[in-house]
Amino acid sequence: MPASPARFARIAIVGRYASPSIAEPLTALVTFLRSRGHAIVVEAETARYTTLDDLPTADAETLGAAVDLAVIVGGDGTMLTVARKLAPYDVPLIGINQGRLGFLTDVPLARMTALLGSMLDGAFVEERRTLLAATIERAGKPDEEVLALNDVVVNRGSHGSVIEIGVDVDDRFVYAMRADGVIVATPTGSTAYALSAGGPIVDPAVPALALVPVAPHALTYRPIVIAESSRVTISLQRGIDAAVNCDGQAYFALAEGDRVRVRRAARSARFLHPPKHDHFAMLREKLHWSETPERLAARLPRDAAID
């Protein structure tokens, strides 16, 4: 029986939700961690898609109190969910990429045990990422507060026309515009929806947020980078079927006159990366910078290769 390791003695295992293919890599992960003497707790929803019946489980809301580290096997969507729920416990996170791009889950599945072993022995780079706290103020309803790691987005619904919104920063009026919406993005979220909407990529080391209009009716509305200490207020002045969503996962319908207040959260998300992690190298790899069409086609799966 191996001795219980001093570093990260208790490890949570979280797998991509509702994914039948998650069972095999999770079983391999558990076997590896057990061989090292770690105590393992499986997130309750994950346990439904595996045969790890002999392991203790905990729901995502209480998991952080029981462990020293969480290992997430899945894509960035799974990591976003887990990061928000474990942030109050200041639990560090390691992401094993079973998704596509993997900006947050940066340990390749094929190298899982090799890289994870060295990281559990202390060879890692630790990084803290800003979280947003969004307060939704709606007439006739109690205020609701939600965390976001990527972004807070106010936008029109699928059946609505453009909306009119007003934006204030630290109680200073910025603009009112007709648009499909507006994004408040952290540096982490600057490579997500905000990037698709024409926003800048913000280095995670920069203490800033990005305000990114979505399809504004006047092209003079441009993305703005503001201090992460800023408090942003978005008011819905006109529009039907509008909503606010946080990380694309928590949705709240909005009516005219409702407001969304966004600020930096008191807690941050802790990520552990392999020792040679470099943000710019990651961007080059994930965004295929400096690739010729021939080299890119050779690297992509056959069904994703470009002509």
Single out the residue of 214, 180, 209 nearest to residue 196, CA to CA. 214
> Would you state the pLDDT for residue 61?
87
At 241-273, the pLDDT tens digits run 899 999 999 999 999 999 999 999 999 999 999
- Give every residue of the chain whose pLDDT is below 70, as ranges: 1-6, 18, 53, 99, 292, 295-296, 299-307
> Would you state the pLDDT for residue 296?
64
Domains, the chain, in order of start with CATH, read: 10-123 (3.40.50.10330), 131-266 (2.60.200.30)
- Please say whether the beta carbons of 223 and 196 come within 8 A: no
What global pTM score does this model have? Answer: 0.90
Q: Which of 148-173 are b and which e, b meaning 16 or more Cβ less than 10 Å from the residue's Cβ?
A: bbbbbbbbbeeeeebbbbbbbbeeee
Structure tokens at 162: 């453009």
The single residue listed with the structure tokens 């061989």 is 35
Number of separate helices (H) and strands (E) present in the chain: 8, 18
Calculate the alpha carbon distances from 283 to 73, 102, 127, 280, 305 in Å.
21, 11, 16, 5, 19
Using only C-alpha atoms, the chain has a radius of gyration, in whole angstroms, of 21
At 170-213, the pLDDT tens digits run 999 999 999 999 999 999 999 999 999 999 999 999 999 999 99
Q: Which residues are catalytic?
A: 76
